Amino acid sequence: MTCQELRACLGAHLDGELDLSLSLAADEHLAFCVGCQWAYARERELRTLVRTRFPREGAPAALGERIRGALARAARGPRIGAPRRWFYWAAPAAALVLIAVGVGLWQRSAPPPVVRELVAKHAMYSRLDAPAEIVSASQEAVAGWFKGKVRFDVAVPDFSPSGIRLVGGRLADLSDRQVAYLLYEKGRNLVSLFAFPSRGLALPSGEGASGGDERFYVAKVNGAEVVIWTQGPLAYALVSSLDRESLLECADTVWRLVGSRTPPGA
């Protein structure tokens, strides 16, 4: 074995991954070649360093529970338990028109999976110190950051008249589709605005809302207020622990911004 050959398989020799004959040949070469002995020691030192000193972080305690919960929901599947109603009600919008107000209220008692998933995302990100991937209070900068990252135009509304300031944005996933996630805050409260393609998703509608605004579906899930609606090809969701009135005000702002950008007839 030449020096060059040995250097090519130095790591594998160290890892005990060479077959017997190569390993013997390597040892034989190492026995008399000082240069290669030095290279071997150097390689071993790095390997030992990584093995002994690299911090092996364990999973956060809450992650195991979160995964168990997700597995339990997956095991139940769409046929059993609360989500079932929504799979049936996800029928054409025309069918929904026929459903009485009372049924609408009953549906509300069990938020659809999409809503729960969005609330879970909001809850998770509100626990983090720096949840945004792009941190900027500039609407243009945040909108620009999403260009090329998601396949739709991201409208970044201004909620500052309500004292809610833009923190930034990040990418998220929802049932395997891309979500543009905008983060705002008022005081210590995170306000999440999600935008994602609505096609093929079982989304709740505001129809039949008693005394409310029929454009928006509203619900309170795990202590968070949720407002969801569909506009054009996209669905929007606002989630926050702020009161419902403030959130509906934000929803109206987004609605008007998106409406002003969508070309007529599109």
Partner 1 sequence: MGSQARREEFEDQALVHLDRVFHLALRLTRNRTEAEDLAQETYLRAFKHFDQFDPGTNCRAWLFAILRNAFLNQQKRQGREVPGLDEGELERFATEMADGPGTLESPEEELLKGVAGAELVAALERLPLIFREAVVLADVEECSYKEIAQICGVPMGTVMSRLSRGRRLLRRALETLVREREGLRRLR
- Contact positions toward partner 1, by CB under 8 A? 8-12, 15, 17, 42-43, 45-47, 49-51, 53-60, 63-64, 66-68, 70-72, 74-77, 124-125, 128, 131, 148-149, 171, 173, 178
Q: How far is the CB of 61 from partner 1 (least distance, A)?
A: 11
- Closer Cβ to partner 1, 9 or 257, answer by number: 9
Shortest distance (Å) from residue 231 CB to partner 1: 23
Distances (CA, A) of 53 to 44, 57, 58, 216, 264: 14, 12, 15, 53, 61
Residue 136 or 253 with smaller CB distance to partner 1: 136
Do residues 223 and 122 lie in contact, with contact meaning Cβ atoms separated by under 8 Å?
no
Is the Cβ of residue 65 or residue 243 nearer to partner 1 in the bound state?
Answer: 65
In angstroms, how far is the first alpha carbon of the chain from the final one?
Answer: 71
Which residue's CB is nearer to partner 1, number 82 or number 96? 82
Cα–Cα dist 90/13, whole Å: 60
Residue 177 C-beta: closest distance to partner 1, Å: 9
Length of the chain: 266
Nearer to partner 1, 132 or 250 (CB): 132
Choice between 74 and 100, CB closer to partner 1? 74
CB of 121 to partner 1, least distance (A): 9
- What minimum distance in Å lies between the beta carbon of 117 and partner 1? 11
CB of 188 to partner 1, least distance (A): 19
